[in-house]
Amino acid sequence: MIQPIYLDYNGTTPHDPEVIAAMRPFLEVEFGNPSSSHWYGIKPRQAVEAARRQVAGLLGCRPAELFFTSGGTESNNHAIKGLARALKHKGRHIVTSAFEHPAVLEVCRYLAGEGFETTYVPVDGQGMLDPLAIASAVRSDTILITIMHANNEVGTVQPIAAIAAMARARGIVMHTDAAQSLGKIPADVRDLGVDMLSVAGHKLYAPKGIGALYVRQGVQIEKFCHGAGQEKGARAGTENVLEIVGLGKACEIAARDLAANMTHMQAMRDRLHQGIAGRLPEVRLNGHPDLRLPNTLSLAFRGMEANRLLEEIGLEVAASAGAACHADSVTLSHVLEAMQVPMEWAKGTLRFSTGRLTSSADIDRAIEVVVGAVQRL
């Protein structure tokens, strides 16, 4: 069977062959526990610390400011709950946007049960936040601002440095969810000015189930897991050495090849956009036209139903939907809702996301398939 063309790199990415090669010894030979003081622990321990340096290299932080997690969701949970609980004596107010991933929104909702209040700042029609709107949402009891670096559905990149500068001036901790931006655009914590940043390995050609959290030295957060003292006590549990090694390698590659990857992903994305928009009259782009991830293309097909379109193209192209249409109702993604995309456009929204392996031939075929499907439907 011929595999569909993969245009869902924001969903997840395949493992980079260099990542697989780096992990192989830890799958086949090096089974030791990094906490063991005997011979078997030496290589795994060294590998975990080497990986920490590789991730730190991509983020521009100190290795000691990073700990490994099970992925973006855990990193966000730990950052938000950990900070809120550590600073609850100072205040119980959090500022975020209506536009975040559920791994942030659901955490804020959950914390309401512990007496925390969250303000959800609206985005504009292109999914952009105004730093002034964030500043006006801040109160004397605000302890945390958490805003995603780039949106997973439409790709809009937020003015994190401006928001973080405002947060710092007011003594508020700033967290960003960089699950989607790492490896696609620069995300150096010194340039962003953030205090905490979440990493998700599987968006970056590393395996699923591994991530990291950057916590700037001096910022105190509560422990996530209680147990033995791994990860300096912040996250107990025997380290996932195999995947930590994979994440480290993936970050090294992301830093090394960033410029070339950005150029390639953007060329493929724009070719797809032009190919589709040039042949269909009723197509529009969701998200910011310029301040957007170089690989992300959220297209609204007016009057169409996204799940019907996905079914129609599914044997040849793998993409994802921005809305789910049922017999008598339509559920829009909260991102399109927050952007107030009109229903007749939003319900026919597909997200295409390109990656390192996307070729011009893939894009040309995908254009034929998508245009054909829209015309038939």
Ligand X SMILES: Cc1ncc(COP(=O)(O)O)c(C=O)c1O
List active site positions. 325
Q: Rounded to the nearest whole angstrom, what is the least distance from the CB of residue 280 to ligand X in the complex?
A: 28
What mask, x for binding ligand X by CB under 6 A, covers residues 270 to 309? ----------------------------------------
Name the 3-class secondary structure at 318: strand
**Least distance from ligand X to the Cβ atom of residue 144, Å:** 16
Q: How far is CA 79 from CA 30, 86, 173, in A?
A: 31, 10, 10
Q: Of the two residues 179 and 299, which places its CB atom closer to ligand X in the complex?
A: 179
In 10 A of CB 214, how many CB atoms?
A: 27
Quick one: 177 or 195, whose CB is closer to ligand X? Answer: 177
Are 322 and 153 a contacting pair, CB within 8 Å?
Answer: yes
Find the radius of gyration of the CA atoms of the chain: 21
Contact 236, 253 (CB under 8 A): no
Using CB positions, name the residue nearest to ligand X: 72
**CB of 293 vs ligand X, minimal distance in Å:** 11
Angle at CA of residue 357, ends 352 and 358, nearest 5°: 40
Shortest Å distance, C-beta 167 to ligand X = 19
In the chain the first and final C-alpha atoms are separated, in Å, by 25
Please name the helix (run of DSSP H) or strand (run of DSSP E) that holds residue 351, with its range, or none.
strand 349-353
Shortest separation between residue 149's beta carbon and ligand X, angstroms: 8
Closest to ligand X by CB, 32 vs 183, is 183
Structure tokens, 271: 């070719």
User: What values do phi and psi take at 227, rounded to 5?
Assistant: 170, -140
Among 44, 155, 211, 294, binds ligand X (CB under 6 A): 211
Please report the DSSP string for 163-211 in residue order. HHHHHHHTT-EEEEE-TTTBTTB---HHHHT-SEEEEEGGGTTS-TT-E
Which residues in 44-103 contact ligand X (CB under 6 A)? 71-73, 101, 103
> How many residues of this chain interact with ligand X, rule: CB under 6 A?
13
Q: Which of 179, 265, 297, 306 binds ligand X (CB under 6 A)?
A: 179
> Considering beta carbons, is residue 34 or 71 the nearer one to ligand X?
71
Footprint of ligand X on 148-177 (CB under 6 A): 148, 152, 177
* Nearest distance, CB of residue 27 and ligand X, angstroms: 21
Q: Does 313 bind ligand X (CB under 6 A)?
A: no
Least distance to ligand X from the beta carbon of 102, Å?
Answer: 8
CB burial readout 31-56, b (16+ within 10 A) else e: ebebeeeeeeeebbbebbebbbebbb
Between residue 357 and residue 376, which ones bind ligand X under the rule CB under 6 A? none
**Site map (CB under 6 A) of ligand X, residues 3-42, x = contact:** ----------------------------------------
Q: Select from 7, 94, 197, 200 the one that contacts ligand X (CB under 6 A).
A: 200
Kindly write down the DSSP assignment for every residue of 89-146, as one continuous string: TT--EEEEETTS-HHHHHHHHHHGGGT-EEEEE---TTSPPPHHHHHHH--TTEEEEE
Can you give the length of the chain in residues? Answer: 377
- List residues binding ligand X (CB under 6 A): 71-73, 101, 103, 148, 152, 177, 179-180, 200, 202, 211
